[in-house]
Amino acid sequence: MIRLVFMLRKQSQLSSEAFNDYWLHKHGPLVASVANDINAVRYVQVHTEHDPANEAMAAARGGMEPVYDGVAELWFESREALVEAFNTDAGKKAAALLVEDEAKFIDLAASPLWLAHDYPQVNPTPENLVARPRSSLIKLYFPLRSREALGDAAAQHYWYSNHGPIIRRQAAGSGIMRYIQVHRFEDELEAQMRKARGTQVPAYMGHAELWFDRGVLGSAIPERRIANERAIADESKFIDFARSSMWLAKEHVIVDHL
């Protein structure tokens, strides 16, 4: 299973409301209509919540990049399934149709995308947590860039081998219900998709995603404060905060054949 991560910045003339409306009600159904043609088995829209907590989390890390307006995520059974779609007439037609529609509301040059593998760290059973708009759950989205001295490979190794266990150990005290590391991998397919969209912003080395109940975010429980301080201290060992970002979001599941 691989995931296509597509971080979106809206076109400047659009309000957040207009962007989200078009994305959800016009573009979402379009993606759903061609999901079989591109061999996508799941498609989720992650809509950014413009919450004061976003600024607080960035300030705690010394300042970060502006939040994105959302993230489009598509899952495929394998790389081979994605390649197969690109090599069929229906798949090529669908891909071109999607890029044409994306250009109506997305600033494509400023919206990086990449392919990635999921590495679950804290996972409920069954794996059905979704931060739906009307639920009390909230999703934390954290795209990461590595410290220059480390490079992506070493930073990804530290993230998985050292940082992951720290977060797992303190998950209960932090109120974390689910935590996944999503690691980018190098692939020529990424270059093809970037070229089709004129993408200029470099890809991140991956992103972390965590699910909470919204009620814990404003909690003053000492265990949560200590856990957050410990997490930030360890993040600073491998993450370049100034070139990374973090925000809260809600999820809209458009296609799910998993």
Mind listing the pLDDT tens digit for each residue in 185-242?
Answer: 999 999 999 999 999 999 999 999 999 998 877 666 777 888 889 999 999 999 999 9
- pLDDT tens-place string over residues 98-118: 999 999 999 999 999 999 999
Phi-psi region of 47 (alpha: psi -120 to 50; beta: other; left: phi over 0): beta
Q: What is each CA distance from 125 to 128, 130, 153, 175, 177, in whole angstroms?
A: 8, 13, 31, 17, 11
Q: Residue 218's pLDDT is what? A: 65
Q: How far is CA 236 from the centre of its chain?
A: 20
Q: Position of tokens 């919204």?
A: 214
> Residue 215: what pLDDT?
81
Cβ distance 248 to 58 under 8 Å?
no
Q: Respond yes or no on whether the N-terminal peptide bond of residue 126 is cis (omega within 30° of 0).
A: yes
User: Quick check: 27 and 207 in contact, CB under 8 A?
Assistant: no
Is the per-residue pLDDT at 74 higher than 90?
A: yes
pLDDT at residue number 174: 86
Sign of CA dihedral 10, 129, 174, 219: positive
Query: Strand pairing of 178-184 and 113-122?
Result: antiparallel
Global confidence as pTM: 0.95
Task: Quote the pLDDT of residue 258.
Answer: 83
pLDDT exceeding 70 applies to what percent of the chain?
99
Tokens of 210: 């965590």
Does the pLDDT of residue 35 top 70, yes or no?
yes
The two most distant CA atoms of the chain are separated, in Å, by 58
* Tokens found for residue 217: 């975010």
Where do the DSSP E strands lie in 123-246? 137-144, 178-184, 206-213
pLDDT in tens, 139-182: 999 999 999 999 999 999 999 999 999 999 999 888 899 999 99
List C-alpha distances in Å: 140 to 51, 53, 126.
11, 10, 20
Class level of CATH domain 2-256: alpha beta
Rounded to whole angstroms, how far apart are CA atoms 252 and 232? Answer: 29
- pLDDT, residue 219, reads 66
Q: Helix (H, G, I), strand (E, B), or coil: what is residue 8?
A: strand
pLDDT grade, residue 25 (50/70/90)? Answer: very high
Cα–Cα distance, 122 to 227 (Å, whole number): 15
pLDDT at residue 125 in the model: 81
